[in-house]
Amino acid sequence: MAASDILKPESLAKVLSEHGVRPTSQRETVYQSLLNKRTHPTADEVFARVRETAPTISLATVYNCLDVLVQNKLVRAVNFERAPTQYCANLAPHAHFHDEAGRTLDIEMPTEVIDQLRDLLPDDFDVKHIEVNFHGRAPQND
């Protein structure tokens, strides 16, 4: 599912179902908004986006939908320091680069590198999740 993918409402619902998420119009709208524009928006930004197509949706529902999507692994929650949580629909294993200008970029992480990181831990550690965040300056256009 690349950034350019355009999903018909039907297939959107199917994707949700297949991941154990009961498809409601709110969940579809929220998910769609993340697929359409991959800028790692906050809950507030998602709220602003979805209001245009679903003007009666509430912020609480946006939080609910995002939680459900994250719990069912359709979306990743990304945190930088104490900033509001950002949401990411890129399911490939990847790191995040947090630009000083505020942009958040996906950084591909080959399995090889992930394994290297996992090897830093003693064997009797059970790793559920590895998170890699870069901070710095990214060139203007990328």
State the binding string over 53-92 for Zn ion (x if CB under 5 A, else -): -----------------------------------x-x--
CA distance 17 to 12: 9
Q: Given the structure tokens 């069912």, which residue do they identify?
A: 72
Rounded CA separation 117/130 (Å): 8
CB of 64 to DNA, least distance (A): 5
Of residues 68-107, which lie at the interface with Mn ion (CB under 5 A)? 98
Min dist CB 20 to its own copies, Å, is: 21
- Nearer to DNA by Cβ, of 39 and 42: the residue is 42
Q: From its phi and psi, is residue 20 left (phi > 0), alpha (psi between -120 and 50) or beta? A: left
Q: How far is the CB of 28 from its own copies (least distance, A)?
A: 26
What is the smallest separation between the CB atom of 107 and Zn ion, expressed in angstroms?
Answer: 8
127 contributes a contact to DNA by CB under 7 A? no
Does residue 94 contact residue 109 with C-beta atoms inside 8 Å? yes
Q: Does 70 bind its own copies (CB under 8 A)?
A: no
User: Which residue, among 80, 1, 9, has the nearest Cα to 17 in the 3D structure?
Assistant: 9
Of residues 42, 19, 20, 46, the one with CA closest to residue 31:
46
Contacts with its own copies, residue ranges (CB under 8 A): 77, 79, 81-82, 85, 95, 97, 100, 107-109, 113, 116-117, 120-122, 124-139, 142
